[in-house]
Amino acid sequence: LVAKLKPQWAPPLSAADRAVTLPPLTQQLTTGTARHALTGLFNALKGKRNANVPLGHILRQLTVVVLPGLLFLLVLVTSYRAVTTVEAEAVYDIQQIGASSSSTAPSADTGGLQEPPQEDGLKEPVAEGGLQEPPSGDVQEPPGAEAPAEPAAASVAEPPAAAAASADKAPAGATTRDAPTWWWVCFAILGALVALFYLFLSFARLEIFKMLLTSFFPLMMLIISVLGSIVMGLATPTEAAAMGALGGFLLAVAYKRLTLSVLQESVFLTAKTSAMVCWLFVGSAIFSAAFALLGGQELVETWVLSMNLSKTQFLVMSQAIIFILGWPLEWTEIIVIFMPIFIPLLDNFGVDPLFFGLLVALNLQTAFLSPPVAMAAFYLKGVAPKHVTLNQIFLGMLPFMAIQVLAIVLLYQFPAIGLWLPQLLYK
């Protein structure tokens, strides 16, 4: 909106900067950068224009072009199998306590003491020529009288809720089921994006796509592998950090930047950061323990509860304190030292810890953009040109701080913005 209303505040790149230069071999395959890349490359395979262009160059360009389509098909097939395959449920032969075991075969080795089999009772010896007792002391029904059969369990009508729940599941014994609606919607949108990619793929956009493949996409895959492994439950945060380190190592090898000096600097910075964080945790643990033993936590809790605050008032007060702390301190000190003071109070006001953590994260981002300290402004000043003053940076940060405040208000009014995805993944 700002760029639309004030174009001079966000000027576009010049035509010279937006121009895309094709490689020399690719220039021989097309008459202009706006020509469609997919059809141009296929025509080059059988045309005379590629007389001086090696076939390997054309095949490499075609590989880059078809890569998004192949990736889409791979994800389509694997995810379709995942959502339509029904896993066989394990069946356990569990006998109800007190039920008769006459219908089940005795176990060969139960591993415990067993009672001796009980007989029906003492039986008198059969006396020859005398009266004999009947085989069983129970009175038997006449042959025509039979006990009414119990109704089958399957004939009992299910309640409407149970019937609706069972309708979405695959029938018993089935190995596949229909794909859910959300899967069709997601891949319809993804398929439309892939179709638009090929529809507007010119030679100029192909070069930009190749730039993204060597710059942005490797970093994106690294982020997805680290955060995605945590979200999907494949790794703990520590193991995900190890995956990130391995990914960074492989990227350094791919970009041919892995040297002994780079490796030494990486190890040194990692040890320095880890030592700083570890000492910070040591100090925070000592502070929290001393604060609790001296009655500080009880004093704070009594003071807050004595004010008879509502849930909204407590959130506003806590966020205001954290906002002020965000001026002189960094987020690590606030999270490790001051958050343990607020967390025990959440149960008294019925605040979800995850929701409170999201509010704190947005609040700290706002505090880092807010004068008079605004650490982000000083970071930006260190890399900005000399003619850019600190006051100009402060003025430029105000719209973004307003966006952060709006985000906090929206999150408070609609908590599902931040809680829907975690509840969906971990329910």
Query: Locate tokens 């121009």: which residue?
Result: 19
- Gap between the Cα atoms of 280 and 283, Å rounded: 5
Report DSSP letters for 241-310, one per residue: HHHHHHHHHHHHHHTT---HHHHHHHHHHHHHHHHHHHHHHHHHHHHHHHHHHTTHHHHHHHHHHHTT--
- What are 310-320's pLDDT values in tens digits? 888 999 998 88
CB half-sphere exposure, 11, CA atoms < 13 A: 5
Residues of the chain short of pLDDT 50, as ranges, are: 100-112, 127, 129, 137, 144-168
Spatial contact of 237 and 230, defined as CB atoms under 8 Å apart = yes
Q: Residue 37 in contact with residue 206, Cβ under 8 Å?
A: yes
In a domain, 169, yes or no: no
Residue 197 vs residues 185, 188, 189, 203, 336: alpha-carbon distances, Å = 19, 14, 12, 12, 46
Contact 337, 281 (CB under 8 A): no
Q: Is residue 354 part of a domain?
A: yes
How many Å apart are CA 156 and CA 401, to the nearest integer? 61
> First and final CA of the chain: distance in angstroms?
38
Give pLDDT tens digits for 154-191.
444 444 444 444 444 555 556 788 888 888 998 899 99
Which amino acid, one-letter code, is at 126?
A: V
Q: CA of 209: how far to CAs of 22, 187, 248, 250, in Å?
A: 12, 22, 22, 22
Contacts of 80 (CB under 8 A, 6+ apart): 179, 183
Residue 285 domain flag:
no
- 372 prior amide bond cis, ω within 30: yes
The pLDDT assigned to 154 comes to: 41
64 and 189 in a single domain? The answer is: yes
User: Smallest Cα–Cα separation from 332: which of 280, 375, 288, 285?
Assistant: 280
Grouping H, G, I as helix, E, B as strand and the rest as coil, residue 352 is: coil
SS3 339: helix
What's the pLDDT at 192? 94
User: Residues 186, 310: one domain?
Assistant: no
- The Cα 86–Cα 416 span in angstroms is 30
Query: Are the C-beta atoms of 40 and 48 separated by less than 8 Å?
Result: no
Angle, vertex CA 23, rays to CA 61 and CA 71, nearest 5 = 25
Residue 371 lies in a domain: yes
**Bridge partners of 36?**
202
Q: Are residues 182 and 323 in the same domain?
A: no
For residue 169, the Cα-to-chain-centroid distance in whole angstroms is 25
Q: What are phi and psi of 36, to 5 degrees?
A: -65, 130
- Residue 67 in any domain: the answer is yes
Q: What's the structural domain count of the chain?
A: 2
Q: Is the residue at 270 inside a domain?
A: no
Q: How many other CB atoms are there within 10 angstroms of residue 371's CB atom?
A: 14
Domain boundary among 170, 201, 232: 201
Q: Output the pLDDT for position 394.
A: 84
What DSSP assignment string belongs to 119-157?
PSS--PPPPTTS----S-SSPPPPTT--PPPPPPGGGSP
- 232 falls within a domain: no
Do 334 and 190 belong to one domain? no
**Rounded distance, CA 250 to CA 264, Å?**
16
The predicted structure's pLDDT at residue 195:
93
Distance CA 398, CA 9 (A): 14
What is the residue range of 320's domain? 297-426
The pTM of the full predicted model, rounded to 2 decimals, is 0.56
Return the pLDDT at 50.
61
Cβ neighbours of residue 75 closer than 8 Å, sequence gap 6 or more: 190
Nearest in space to 319 (alpha carbons), one of 334, 337, 308: 334
Is 182 among the domain residues? Answer: yes
